[in-house]
Every structure is written in structure tokens, then in C-alpha cells.
Chain A
């Protein structure tokens, strides 16, 4: 176990709704990254938060947004859900925003949009 936890484990939403996913980073880690992994594909980078600020973003629309709190836990919010948003959402924490540092992944949240 990496010490990174995510909630909920599974979630079912209807198209057009909004969803919030949560991630608790490993103790001492100040950087959290979020990824979307469609079935049978590799993860796609959504964004990274470092010390409560967005520190990089992948090719995702603005309806994907996030927050990082003073304790370095994080939320991923997705508005106006679409069927293609169905995926495994992974968060990863790291002791530094520098990319040569290790990332530790949580178990993921499986989101199904119907």
C-alpha cells in the first residue's frame, strides 16, 4: 500500500451531473497529480497541484477542475458529465513538484456515467 487513499471507490452518475472525487496524499507529500484512465488504455494526465496551486495541466477542458487543501489533500471536480468521462480516476502524490521524484498512486475511483 502506498498510503494514498481515494474516495469513493465506485460512483455512478447521470450525464449532465457534477461529481467530486477526493484524494488524501501520503504523509509529507505536497504535490498531487490526477489522471484519467479509460478501460484498456494508459492514464492521461489531467493536472497537478503543488502547495495549493495548479502546477501543470494536460489536454482536458475547463469543466475538469481541482483543489488542493492546506493539508495537501485534493479534490477533482467534473461538471456537465459526459458518457466519455466514464473511467478510472487516479491520483498520485509526490514529495516534490520536481518530476524526478517518485509518484505514489492511489487505488483509483471508478466513475460510470450513464
Chain B
């Protein structure tokens, strides 16, 4: 069964600190993996998209990594800001095209 798991479920950090969120998946065959940021009550906003051949991609203070062999991805946030408080969702798309499998998200709270 195609699944995406994320850890931790929630995370609290102080402003300015770094953090890393994890994503494990069983989706096969794999097309691409995305990380989204979702503020409460809003639609998700894309942070990164990585295909099979990419193992790292950055978007400002966000850096995603992908290990297609172990089917793991991580999202690293550096120098966190209060505005980083949101849910971060990992999405894996299978190679047949239309199966978007969303993880449950990690809820990040950044405190002053």
C-alpha cells in the first residue's frame, strides 16, 4: 500500500534555531517528492519538488534532501523565524501520474 509517514508529529523550537523534519514513503514506482508549507486555514504552498535523480534542493532557508534508495526525505529549516510556524507536508507522486499521496504533516511551532 502506498503510504507516506512523517516525523515528528509536532515540534517546538525557539526562534533562530535549526530543525529537521523527516518523511518516509512506500510509494512505488516513484515520480517526484514535494514539500509543502500549510498555514492554519490556508491552502498548502510548495517549497520544493525533487525528482528521482535529485538528492538535494534548496529554497531560501529550506533545504530538502532525498534518498530514493532508502525512500527517505528530510526538510531542514535554518535560522527559524516566527513565520515558519505551520504544518509541513510531504507528498509523493507515483510514476503513473495521478496518485498523489500526502503525509499527515509535521506541526512546527517557533517560539520567541
Chain A residues with CB under 8 Å of chain B are 2, 4, 33, 35, 40-45, 48, 55-58, 88, 90, 92, 97-100, 102-108, 110
Contacts and interface: CB of A to CB of B under 8 A. Distances in A.
B43 A58 contact: no
Nearest to A103: B46
A43 B97 contact: no
Interface of B: 4, 31-32, 41-46, 49, 51, 89, 91, 93, 97-105
Given A42-B103, A42-B105, A56-B98, A102 B44 contact: no
B44 A57 contact: no
A102 B93 CA distance: 12
A4 B31 CA distance: 25
A105 B47 CA distance: 13
Contacts of B41: 88, 107-108, 110
Question: 6 nearest interchain CB pairs?
Answer: A56-B98, A105-B43, A42-B102, A45-B100, A99-B93, A42-B104
Contacts, number: 64
Nearest to B46: A102
B84 to A, nearest CB: 18
Contacts of B102: 35, 42-45
A2 B43 contact: yes
Given A4-B43, A99-B97, 19 more contacts: A35-B102, A45-B98, A45-B100, A56-B98, A56-B99, A57-B98, A58-B100, A88-B41, A90-B43, A92-B43, A99-B32, A99-B98, A100-B32, A100-B49, A102-B49, A105-B44, A105-B45, A106-B43, A110-B41
A107 B42 contact: yes
A105 B34 CA distance: 14
A105 B100 CA distance: 14
B49 to A, nearest CB: 7
Contacts of B93: 99
A90 B41 CA distance: 11
